[in-house]
Amino acid sequence: MSAVGNDIAALPSRFALSDVLGLVGALDHADIGILLLDAELHAVYMNQPFRDLWTIPDVLAARRPSFRDLVRHVETTHWRHVAPNQRRSYLRRRERAIRAGAVAPTPIELPDGRQVRFRCDTLPDGGRLLTYADVTDDIRRASESAVQRISAELRFATETLETQAAYLVALAEETEETRKQADTARLMLEREVEERRNIEAQLRQVATTDSLTGVLNRAAFLTCAERELIRARNNGKVLSILMLDADHFKTVNDRHGHAGGDAVLQYLAGACRTAMRAGDSIGRLGGEEFAVVLPGATLEMGEEVAERLRGQIASHAVWHGGVPIAFTVSVGVGAARCADQSIEQVMARADAALYAAKEAGRNRVVLERAA
């Protein structure tokens, strides 16, 4: 958390709600979302990062909504995972937790894969200070650091074992008996070296792969796609991106359970592999959203791949538990431009095209708007 985040976390022990409100001019530039509630749990202030995080519209923010209204908005616009007949008890549980007082830092995973750390503190005059810090990059860096440290330790141990094996081979030349002993020890060391190399490969696999579908996870895909964009720019080549989303995925989960939803996501990942060319890469960005990077493909070539994939999925059902599950996908296609500084810019245009495909009725391919 930044220095601003640390200062905000310490405010409840030094200021009343009226004092905190004097800082609102600076809080819109903080790197954490901040929500101030009065003693009746009505919003008296929310900074811009909080509104951006939970997509709070102006009309909702302007009427000093209750915490329950905000939770209901987030539930219906972001997750929608609570059944209507359970929503009342769900809202009451959330409200009781805040009304009870301080809540220790709690991790929240968003549908797009980001990680947010939530905290609630009680103010001296009965209000509540809620903070939401995006810690996705911190978690990713910690994971990468751990994998790098373990890999370095394994490489050091492997090199040591290889050195010992070479020494034993030299000893084997002295006597026949020593040679036999050295051969046995060398074979054991070689097996251990191979096992350690397998462990290192497995660590790399875990760090870069989505466990459900076997495709690249979000962080690994972004790294791969950024590398392909740099290569395309250096070599004067083209590149396109597909953004895919399973249509009405919530309905699939409601009708067939999460196991049925998992079967749909696994089938979608397999269909993407079948439609892809050699050198293409696919990643799961979070939930039911996938992305494919197509090096050397123009916007029109990307459209052909996307349409082939869309048609294949629309014409086949997924069988789960003896029941067919029919579903479709919407696809947005974007292509790299000379002015692009990062792969996120290409993905943003493809994502806008995906949104347009959803708005136009789903089960279709839409290209990015012309520059």
Which of 5, 48, 9, 7 is closest to 29 using CA atoms?
Answer: 48
Higher pLDDT, 297 or 187: 297
Reply yes or no on whether the pLDDT at 89 is more than 90: no
Which pLDDT band holds residue 112 (cuts at 50, 70, 90)?
confident
Which pLDDT band holds residue 18 (cuts at 50, 70, 90)?
low
Residue range 3-134 forms a domain whose CATH class is alpha beta
Q: Residue 305 is encoded by which pair of tokens?
A: 């791949």
Give the integer Cα–Cα distance in Å for 26 and 23.
6
Return the CATH number of 218-367, one of 3.40.640.10, 3.40.50.300, 3.30.70.270, 3.40.50.2300: 3.30.70.270
pTM of the entire predicted model: 0.53
Average pLDDT over residues 262-279: 91
Are residues 290 and 268 in contact, defined by beta-carbon separation less than 8 angstroms?
yes
pLDDT tens for residues 206-241? Answer: 678 998 999 999 999 999 999 999 999 999 999 999
pLDDT at 9 (0 to 100):
43
Higher pLDDT, 147 or 57: 57
Q: Residue 279 is encoded by which pair of tokens?
A: 């050198």
pLDDT at 174 (0 to 100):
65
Reply yes or no on whether the pLDDT at 4 is more than 70: no
Q: Residue 138 is encoded by which pair of tokens?
A: 């911190």
Report the range out of 5-19, 142-156, 261-275 with the highest average pLDDT: 261-275
Sign of CA dihedral 209, 214, 217, 220: positive
pLDDT at 99 (0 to 100):
86
pLDDT at 114 (0 to 100):
82
Average pLDDT over residues 78-86: 59
Higher pLDDT, 35 or 94: 35
Average pLDDT over residues 235-258: 93
Which pLDDT band holds residue 3 (cuts at 50, 70, 90)?
very low
Give the integer Cα–Cα distance in Å for 268 and 291.
11
Which pLDDT band holds residue 5 (cuts at 50, 70, 90)?
very low
pLDDT at 79 (0 to 100):
56
**Any idea which of 11-15, 63-67, 283-287, 321-325 has the lowest mean pLDDT?**
11-15
Give the integer Cα–Cα distance in Å for 83 and 193.
52
pLDDT at 205 (0 to 100):
61
CB-based burial label for 10 (10 Å; 0-12, 13-18, 19+): exposed
Are residues 133 and 143 in contact, defined by beta-carbon separation less than 8 angstroms?
no
Report the range out of 46-55, 63-72, 131-140, 219-228 with the highest average pLDDT: 219-228
Higher pLDDT, 102 or 268: 268
Active site residues: 288
Give me the residue spans of the domains in the chain. Answer: 3-134, 139-208, 218-367
Name the average pLDDT for the chain: 83
Same fold, 3-134 and 218-367: no
Q: Residue 322 is encoded by which pair of tokens?
A: 């003896």
Give the integer Cα–Cα distance in Å for 141 and 147.
10
Q: Residue 286 is encoded by which pair of tokens?
A: 């979070």
Report the b/e string of 63-78 with b at 16+ CB within 10 A: eebbbbbbbbbebeee
pLDDT tens for residues 338-370? Answer: 999 999 999 999 999 999 999 999 999 999 988
Three-class HEC string of 270-301: HHHHHHCCCCCEEEEEECCEEEEEEECCCHHH
pLDDT at 345 (0 to 100):
95
Amino acid in position 213: T
pLDDT at 82 (0 to 100):
55
